[in-house]
Amino acid sequence: MLPETHRYRLLFFVTVFLGFALIVVWRLTYWQVTQAQEMSAKAVQEHSLEQPIPPRRGEIMDARGHLLATNLPAEAVFMSPNQISKKNRAKVVEVLASTLGLPAAEVDAKIGDGQSFYVSVKRRVPLEVTQRLRETIEKEKLLGVYFEPETIRIYPQEALAAQLIGFANYENQGMYGVEGYHNELLRGKPGLLVAEKDTFGGELSIGYRQLTPPEDGASVVLTIDRPVQNFIERTLKKALEDNKAPTGTIIVLDPRTSAIIAMASWPTYDPNKFTTTKPEMMVNPAVSSQYEPGSVFKLVTMSAGLDARAVTPETTLNCKGYVEVNGVLIWTWNKAAHGVENMTQVLQRSCNVGAVFVSQALGRERFYKYVRAFGFGDNSGVDLQGEVPGFVRPYDNDRDWRMIYMANNTFGQGIAVTPLQMLNAAAAIANNGKLMRPYIVERVIKGDQNVYVQPTVVRQVISPSTSATMRDMMVNVVEKEAKGAQVPGYRIAGKTGTAQIPKFGGYEPDQTIVSFIGFAPADDPKFIVLVKIDRPAKSPWAQTVAVPVFNTVARWLLEYYKIPPTQPVPTPTPEG
């Protein structure tokens, strides 16, 4: 029999042993039962590689199939610093820096303490560069540098239509223009590779592998025509140089559908170099820039008056050179009295007093409704990123919406529009009164399917008969005043606009925005053009700045589209 002290000692050790055993059993139960699912997931995670597979972004083409945006194969270069030996570190840094054009200090910092599995070195590296890098790595027997396939988004036409197209950044995210608006359509859906990985973090060649392939993005065919786009860009640039103007815009629409044939603004940029481009250069002024349109807005005022039968082309007024509204004197543009004139002459002479007369015959509520019906104060719905709605002072009642607000609006002051809005409203006048939704994507290509975009009628703004009357009145403007817009053999319709530039408390005294909207042939329009030149130093008038530019564009388009003459071409009178 054991002494009592030995029994206590044995009991103590047995108790400790049993306690320890219970703790072990409890911990095993905890890890193997309670935490089994989590531990299994962690084990799988430690030994699994999940690698997203980028989709191929859809291409962008013009109406004739010319590539405007496409992709080139490239590779991303990355390192596994934990595989780079201390002996080879300096050589790896030297090779990567010299081949990829990176600072050596930047590459060395990426290696850091040498413990990381994965560090990105450079994205979107051309294949010819990565091939040279591979050859050097193999020659020097360097470990820890790897490659992943990807693509480079390129724009073969460089700056052509850049603000209209936009660009896609390194993360395949569309920015601005078509790339931004149609990003989800173009970008596609990424795939996923799930596989076992080796100790270095790469794919185990004989292990488990599951591949979900990417879904490539759709390609789009635009309504723009590359030769037309190229011509108006060159024409705009020359016009700005000739008139010493900093910025400007030209847009060409098909008035029957509001398809955008060409859209150019200056200055512009090369989307291939988006990383070094100022953000303000990327914005498309044709849809994002607001301005007071000036007298070209009289097209809206006169259309409304005629359509509501508040006036007829023969209605007359006696223009004394000014009219008083709410105690404010509104003058004709040259402060000259026109005397008795009818509505055709009001539009021809761009008479502010006559425009106010039309609006007063209409009344504030009806005038406001027509302005909104023409699309002002709302986005046009064009499929381009960055469109703004402009500004129309909201109307609630005649008491709050003062007569002076309406009077100023009649000749394009106190209201803000975008160039596309203004042109699209004029296109409705040319198109038998139908306001169309402007659009840029004509067709979507997904695999072997082609989906065509159908033109959309927004609303009937004015009647076909009012449209016909307005077309005749606009032809009269060109034949009697804006003669520089004429093209022999064709009836051209148009209207000038010379707008003051607002500043705090008034308008800039010596600066203007000049514009001209015209279409041809007047009786069956095939195109409508807006020319807008900002702050021309050579002359402040649309007649001498914007009209000649329109004439250049119109002549070229008539020849390019082989549109036959609509009236006899005058025969030059022989001399002597």
Contact 71, 56 (CB under 8 A): yes
* Token code pair at residue 530: 């807006």
Contact 443, 220 (CB under 8 A): yes
Which backbone phi and psi does 517 adopt, to 5 degrees? -115, 130
DSSP letter for 384, please.
Answer: S
295 counts as catalytic: yes
Single-letter amino acid code for the residue at 371: V
- List CB contacts of 420: < 8 A, sequence separation 6 or more: 251, 263, 286, 287, 380, 382, 387, 438
* Token code pair at residue 290: 């607001």
For residues 484 and 113, give the distance between their C-alpha atoms in angstroms, rounded to a whole number: 73
Helix (H) or strand (E) run with residue 100 in it:
helix 86-100
Burial of 50 (0-12, 13-18, 19+ CB in 10 A): exposed
Single-letter amino acid code for the residue at 238: K
For residues 121 and 79, give the distance between their C-alpha atoms in angstroms, rounded to a whole number: 7
The one catalytic residue among 80, 219, 288, 295? 295
For residues 354 and 508, give the distance between their C-alpha atoms in angstroms, rounded to a whole number: 24
Alpha-helical (H) ranges within 460-507 are 464-480
Q: Give the position of tokens 């103590």.
A: 12
Burial profile 537-562: b = 16 or more Cβ within 10 angstroms, e = fewer: eebbebbebbbbbbbbbbeebbeeee
Distances in whole angstroms, Cα of residue 351 to Cα of each of 37, 156, 294, 539? 82, 48, 12, 20
Distances in whole angstroms, Cα of residue 145 to Cα of each of 54, 148, 201, 369, 404? 21, 11, 12, 67, 72
Which residue, 293, 234, 224, 141, is CA-closest to 527? 224
* Token code pair at residue 410: 């009649």
First vs last C-alpha separation in the chain: 155
**Residue 221, strand partner residues:** 61, 443
C-alpha 37, offset from chain centre = 50
Contact 78, 173 (CB under 8 A): no
For residues 84 and 117, give the distance between their C-alpha atoms in angstroms, rounded to a whole number: 10
Helix (H) or strand (E) run with residue 406 in it:
helix 403-410
* Token code pair at residue 336: 């000259």
For residues 431 and 456, give the distance between their C-alpha atoms in angstroms, rounded to a whole number: 13
C-alpha 71, offset from chain centre = 20
Please give the positions annotated as active site. 295
